[in-house]
Amino acid sequence: MQRNRILPSGAEERTVSMSLDFRSPHQTDASRAVARNRDCRRDEGINNATPSTAIGLVLTVSSLEEDHICLRRILRGSRPLAQRVQSCQQALASIRAGNISVLICETDLPDGSWKDVLSGLAAETTAPPLIVASRLADDHLWAEVLNLGGYDVLSKPFVAAEVLWAVDGANRRRRLALGQA
């Protein structure tokens, strides 16, 4: 079963296929990072997908540097402040210490999983909505995330319009819960 996607007006759904790059074995780390993140680049057409509400601080939780780089590029046009952490414990400490509006969390982390982060959020009075990111995003994961209290699931590689749509919706949900509509 495939989920229907609703995109902001004027936005097109775009997926980017990854190509194998058979360069010299002497390729630098910097050029490898550029090649890995080629599929994360924003298209000019995505500028029309700017969220309608002001996005606050977005916390990205992943041990993968590529995820943070990609999400920062995508979110840059909507002007949120992005903060990066790599573990469950760091995520929960950041949530307690700061004003996090939306949380984007990788499924598996060095010290647990998205479920551990979600259970830690239960103790917070103003917990931000949790969006789970996974290369293996399917209907089963999506249903599990929603049933346990998460907001949404993003599949990887990230599609800019989907990320903006999910973050915008999660931010609106949080603002409504706080009475800031």
H or E stretch at 22? none
H or E stretch at 73? helix 65-76
d(CA 40, CA 157): 7
CB 156 within 8 A of CB 3: no
How far from the centroid of its chain's Cα atoms is residue 100's Cα? Answer: 13
Nearest to 70 by CA among 151, 146, 164, 145: 164
**Tokens coding 158:** 């990230």
Task: Determine the 3-state secondary structure of 59 from DSSP.
Answer: strand
For residue 4, pLDDT beyond 60: no
Higher-pLDDT residue of 93, 21: 93
Domains located in the chain, CATH noted: 55-177 (3.40.50.2300)
CB 143 within 8 A of CB 25: no
Give yes or no for a cis peptide into 110 (omega within 30° of 0).
no
What is the tens place of the pLDDT at every residue in 22-77?
A: 333 444 444 444 444 444 544 433 444 444 445 578 999 999 999 999 999 998 87
Task: Determine the 3-state secondary structure of 137 from DSSP.
Answer: coil
